[in-house]
């Protein structure tokens, strides 16, 4: 397993990271013969293992956006095309419910999932039928398949941030809306 270069500076049994004090590896059970299960990031935060990130994200994905127990109390999801932010688990759940069950009867399909220490990314499609008002457009009953990418930041085995990249031009075209 390869860690980013700034995390590979092991000197005299210590982990050196930028903007973070040195941390004695022995305090955290580091065995120089093994890869540490956790490494330390900026300002002393503990980086989650890739497996821990994957487990947290799979619980979230398998809940089909209905379980917010793996979200931090101060989670923020941002719709990158508009800058609209949804803060807190209930606000994020409300946004997801609106997209997947009120404006559309939809699911997300996954093409690619990537997991890292404290980060995850999913690329896929938003697939469903337009059943309710969305962005001022009344329900059309049309089926849509829209490219979607979400980048997640995690902290302490919880989702802290989500950045949603949604292909609005593709959606509008599929709904029959002419863009000028």
Domains along the sequence of the chain with CATH:
5-47 (no CATH), 50-174 (3.10.450.50)
CB atoms within 10 A of CB 95: 18
Contact 108, 127 (CB under 8 A): yes
Choose the weakest-confidence range: 54-68, 74-88, 137-151.
Answer: 54-68
Strand stretches in the chain, DSSP E:
10-11, 14-17, 20-24, 39-40, 46-47, 71-79, 84-87, 104-116, 119-130, 143-155, 158-166
Residue 22 has pLDDT above 70, yes or no: no
Mean pLDDT value of segment 45-67:
85
Could you tell me which residue, 10 or 154, shows the higher pLDDT?
Answer: 154
Segment 119-161, tens digit of pLDDT: 999 999 999 999 999 999 999 999 999 999 999 999 999 999 9
What is the average pLDDT value for the chain, to the nearest integer?
80
Length of the chain counted residue by residue: 180
Contact 43, 19 (CB under 8 A): yes
Mean pLDDT value of segment 71-84:
96
Mean pLDDT value of segment 166-170:
95
Q: What is the pTM of this model?
A: 0.73
- pLDDT number for residue 45: 54
Segment 128-137, tens digit of pLDDT: 999 999 999 9
């Amino acid at each position: 397993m390869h860690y980013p270069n700034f995390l590979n500076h092991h000197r005299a049994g210590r982990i050196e990271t930028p903007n973070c004090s040195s941390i004695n590896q022995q305090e955290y059970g580091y065995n120089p013969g093994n890869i540490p299960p956790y490494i330390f990031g900026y300002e002393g935060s503990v980086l989650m293992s890739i497996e821990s990130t994957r487990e947290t994200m799979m619980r979230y994905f398998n809940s089909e956006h209905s379980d917010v127990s793996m979200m931090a109390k101060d989670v923020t999801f941002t719709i990158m095309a508009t800058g609209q932010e949804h803060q807190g688990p209930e606000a994020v759940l409300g946004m997801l419910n609106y997209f997947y069950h009120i404006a559309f009867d939809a699911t997300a399909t996954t093409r690619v999932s990537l997991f890292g220490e404290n980060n995850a990314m999913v690329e896929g499609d938003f697939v469903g039928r337009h059943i309710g008002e969305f962005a001022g457009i009344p329900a059309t009953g049309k089926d849509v398949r829209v490219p979607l990418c979400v980048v997640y930041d995690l902290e302490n085995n919880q989702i802290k941030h989500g950045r949603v990249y949604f292909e609005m031009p593709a959606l509008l075209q599929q709904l029959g809306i002419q863009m000028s």
